[in-house]
Amino acid sequence: DAKTTQPPSMDCAEGRAANLPCNHSTISGNEYVYWYRQIHSQGPQYIIHGLKNNETNEMASLIITEDRKSSTLILPHATLRDTAVYYCIVRRTGANSKLTFGKGITLSVRP
């Protein structure tokens, strides 16, 4: 599976949009981009995933560039509860494909 690169940390003000970048320049055509987050002392939680089209659900939006070499996770109205480590993961489809985590990006939402 392709590797991802994320900045170590960022912060944003409560109520504002949080835009979390991810670089995956070696992504293959059959690899999806996944985002998970981990709130302190809890297990990771699935947020969203996509292949090449932009995706949106009740938690977030995922914007993938046309060349698929990078993506941005958008939390439209960040709250204090969104403070967490966010992991961008590239993963193939298939029964034995695994979730391989990097260090992620620590998002701090300030009041």
- The least CB distance from residue 86 to other proteins, in Å, is 11
Counting every residue written for the chain, the total comes to: 111
In the bound state with other proteins, the residue whose beta carbon lies nearer, of 65 and 97, is 97
One-letter amino acid for residue 36 of the chain: Y
Interface contacts to other proteins, rule CB under 8 A: 32, 34, 41-46, 49, 85, 87, 93-104
One-letter amino acid for residue 40 of the chain: H
In the bound state with other proteins, the residue whose beta carbon lies nearer, of 14 and 108, is 108
- The least CB distance from residue 16 to other proteins, in Å, is 26
Burial of 71 (0-12, 13-18, 19+ CB in 10 A): buried
Angle, alpha carbons 50-104-51 (nearest 5°): 10
In the bound state with other proteins, the residue whose beta carbon lies nearer, of 79 and 97, is 97
- The least CB distance from residue 68 to other proteins, in Å, is 18
Strand partners, 110: 13
